[in-house]
Amino acid sequence: MNGPIRRVVLVLGVVFLVLVVDLTYWQAIAADRLRENPRNPRVELTRSGRERGEILSADAVVLARSVPDPLDPGAYRREYLYGSVYAHVVGFSSALFGDRGVEAAHASLLRSRRDLTTSGIINALLGDDLRPRSIQLTLYHELQATAARALGDRRGAVVALDPATGQVLAMVSSPSFNPNSLVGTNAAVVWEALTESTDGPLDNRAIAGSLPELLTSEGTITLDEMDPLSALGIASRVAAAGQDGLMMRPYLTAGVFDADSSQVSRTDPEPMAETFGYEAALSLYGESSPVAVGGASQDRPPEAVGNSGVTETGAGEPAGWFFGVWPATRPTIVVAVVVYSDGPGGGGPSRAAAASVGRAVLAAWIEMIPTSVPDG
């Protein structure tokens, strides 16, 4: 009788070993993959409470940061310091509604890698810095704030570009929303109102699409999908027209910094391979006339030139548009404005409104010039 009992023990022993091997597979080898699985309910839970890196403007103004959650010890909550001004660019990181904008495009950089995954433990042992990284954008806070203020509650968009590099200096879309309301209490109610609104506050009118799809992980924008008559489409083509057809790829991310504020990587300007739609912009550019800019003074004559009009956009909606460049020779800024309606829900496309918004942005840039000159 002892023979069969011994064989049963042997088989059970082998089964125990198989289980240990299988557990090692699931808990060590496949663990990282399972932790990232979008169906894993922990993915959303950990994301909402984890510390994320800061998002800064080009002039080092903090736009988004993680602060300790007073309601949940050890957890963090995301804070968007200028709310609706950067809503479409910075976007938001929500446990319930996903990520948008830069928060989505750079989710893996902004996330803390300080956790108990196998790779996390190994990297920590190797001395890697696992703290979340911060991202500096190409937007200038003063320019962005001016653009948002000038556009007000009109339905439209503003984009300012550095024509020499393709850096996006300002990008505003209206109507906007407050991303803070999507990470706080009542977020579900706010989300429902935003998604059901006929004004489309979540749409980024500056690129006539949503940022996550157009913004690549390198921080550049894929122009081939961009509506040529969106504010960014106009700005980049006018910028090309002013430089004999050399179109720079527009980008939003200036660089990535680690927790000790030393630079990890930076985005280099890059010319576009194709410059479609450039001829049309060239003729409009040729018809430009001087634009009176409020910020001009004795020292800085109003050298801005620009053009405006009313056109049917790609989306089938007529828009009043304006573009202006400053200075007229070797410009440092191209501003494009699109206004679909001159007020919330009322008024038609307005060329005058577009022009006045554009002039205000140009004036703000001229005011800023002594303190901050964009490199490149």
* Residues forming the site for other proteins (CB under 8 A): 1-6, 8-9, 12-13, 15-16, 18-20, 22-24, 26-28, 30-35, 37, 39-42, 45, 73, 116-118, 121
To other proteins, the closest distance from the beta carbon of 6 in angstroms equals 7
To other proteins, the closest distance from the beta carbon of 27 in angstroms equals 4
Half-sphere CA count of 129, side-chain side, radius 13 A: 13
Half-sphere CA count of 299, side-chain side, radius 13 A: 5
To other proteins, the closest distance from the beta carbon of 133 in angstroms equals 23
Shorter beta-carbon distance to other proteins: residue 17 or 264: 17
Shorter beta-carbon distance to other proteins: residue 11 or 264: 11
Q: For 208, list phi and psi in degrees, rounded to 5.
A: 50, 50
Question: Which of 170, 192, 167, 190 has its CA nearest to residue 180?
Answer: 190
Tokens representing 196 are 């059901």
Tokens representing 19 are 């289980």
Q: For residues 92 and 182, is the Cβ–Cβ distance under 8 A?
A: yes
Shorter beta-carbon distance to other proteins: residue 42 or 266: 42
To other proteins, the closest distance from the beta carbon of 115 in angstroms equals 9
Residue written as tokens 């985005």? Answer: 267
Q: For residues 75 and 69, is the Cβ–Cβ distance under 8 A?
A: yes
Strand (E) or helix (H) holding 338: strand 333-341
Shorter beta-carbon distance to other proteins: residue 34 or 61: 34
3 state DSSP class of 195 = helix
Shorter beta-carbon distance to other proteins: residue 24 or 263: 24
To other proteins, the closest distance from the beta carbon of 16 in angstroms equals 5
Shorter beta-carbon distance to other proteins: residue 20 or 193: 20
Residue written as tokens 């993680």? Answer: 66
To other proteins, the closest distance from the beta carbon of 98 in angstroms equals 16
